[in-house]
Every structure is written in structure tokens, then in C-alpha cells.
Amino acid sequence: KTFIKWCNSNDGPETSQAMHDRLLAQLAQCEFDRKKSDFYAKVMEQELKNYAAISDAIEAGIEMAKTQIDQSKHNLVLAKKIRKNRMQYDVLAKIINQQPDRKQTVQQLELLKEELDMLKENKADLERQLEQKKKDFSVLMHSIVELQNKLDPTDSAMAPGTSSSATQEEATEAAEVPANVDEKMACDEPVVIEEEDDAPSSDNDEVILSSPEKLN
């Protein structure tokens, strides 16, 4: 508008020069504003790029932090499990240390087995000895009854059933002798049979049955 006015103006040279200078100043100001706007635009564009880069870096940091958090959680669970296992291991180790070692236990078991076998053998020997004592005692009682029958033929003739019954009862009692019978029982004492030389002789000589104590 000013440029058109300046072109159509009929003023003097001084007025035209002043208007011309004013137009040049306005053009220079416009040029400066344009360059200033371009500069601001470039700066804003650069700032946007910087902000985008910063945003990308922040997002990458956030993702990395999330990954680290997840890994830390996993490590924490694993550490708790390891700690729990270690505590259980310590408890088991204390219990194991309180027990004797395997070698010593095996040796003790071997000793106990040997003692058990020895006790079994001793028991078997004692049972055999007991059975033999029972048999010997039964034979002895039977022999005593027979000798009594020979020594007292009158009672034997009067009560033969009684003699046999007594023999059976005595044999039964001998079979029921307990295991803890004293080894110095009467069955171990020898039986001495004496014949009286001064007694009148007859068809059957009189025989006296006595123990060593009676003989003394």
C-alpha cells in the first residue's frame, strides 16, 4: 500500500526519498522478521527432534527398568528358595552330625549280631542239656522204682498197679522239671548199692539202696 502510494506520489524529491527510505526500512524489517521466523522454526524443529530423542531414551530406560525389576523379582524368589534350602540343609546337617557315622554303626550291628548268635547257641546248648537232664532223671527214677520193687517184693505183689502208677507219675514229674533246676540236684549224686554180708542168705539177696551221705 505504501509502495503504491509512493509510486503515484507527485511530491518533491526530498519527500519521495524519505518515503523510499521508509519503504526500504519496512522491507528490511520484514526480511528480518522472516529470517527470525525461519530461525525459530528451525530451532523448534531441532527442539522437537531433541524432545523425541529424549522421549525415546526415557521409554527405553523405562523398559530397561521394567526388565531389571522383573529380573530382580526373579532373583529375589530364587534367593528366598536358596535361603530356605540352606536352612533346611543346616538343620539336616546338625541332625546328621548328632548321629554316629555309618562305619561305627555297622561295627555295632556286627557286634550285636555276633552276641545274638552266641546267645542263640548258648540257649540251644542249655536246652539240650535240660533235655538230657530230664531223660537222665526219668531213667534214674525208673531205675529207683525197679530197685524198690526188687527190694520189697511183698508190696510189689500186693499193689502192682500202684507201683506202675507211681512210676508213671514220677516220670511225668521228671519231664516237667523247670529249666532253672540246680545242677547239684540229687540226680547228679551217685547211687551206691550195698549187699549185707551178715544177713541170712536166701534165694534173693537183700539189697540196700542208699546215698553217699547215708553211707558216711
Helices (H), the chain: 2-7, 13-98, 102-151, 153-158, 160-175, 212-215
State the Cα angle at 139 between 183 and 121, rounded to 5°. Answer: 45
- Tell which residue, 178, 173, 174, 179, has the closest CA to residue 126: 179
CA-CA distance, 151 to 207, in Å (whole number)?
A: 6
Which pLDDT belongs to residue 10? Answer: 65
Owning domain of residue 137: 102-151
For cell 522478521, the residue is: 33
194-207 exposure pattern, b = at least 16 Cβ within 10 A, e = fewer: eeeeeeeeeeeeee
Does 213 reside within a domain? no
Domain count, the chain: 1
Q: Tell me the torsion sign for CA atoms 99, 105, 111, 117.
A: positive
- Tell which residue, 211, 200, 201, 198, has the closest CA to residue 147: 211
CA-CA distance, 84 to 6, in Å (whole number)?
A: 97
Does 36 reside within a domain? no
Does 32 reside within a domain? no
Does 19 reside within a domain? no
Does 15 reside within a domain? no
Does 198 reside within a domain? no
Does 189 reside within a domain? no
Which pLDDT belongs to residue 55? Answer: 93
Determine the residue type at 77.
V
Which pLDDT belongs to residue 3? Answer: 60
| β partners of residue 207 | 195
Which pLDDT belongs to residue 183? Answer: 44
Does 140 reside within a domain? yes
CB 167 within 8 A of CB 141: yes
In the predicted model, residues of the chain with pLDDT beneath 70 are: 1-16, 153-216
Q: Which helix (H) or strand (E) holds 195?
A: strand 192-195
Which pLDDT belongs to residue 84? Answer: 94
- Tell which residue, 169, 176, 170, 164, has the closest CA to residue 141: 170
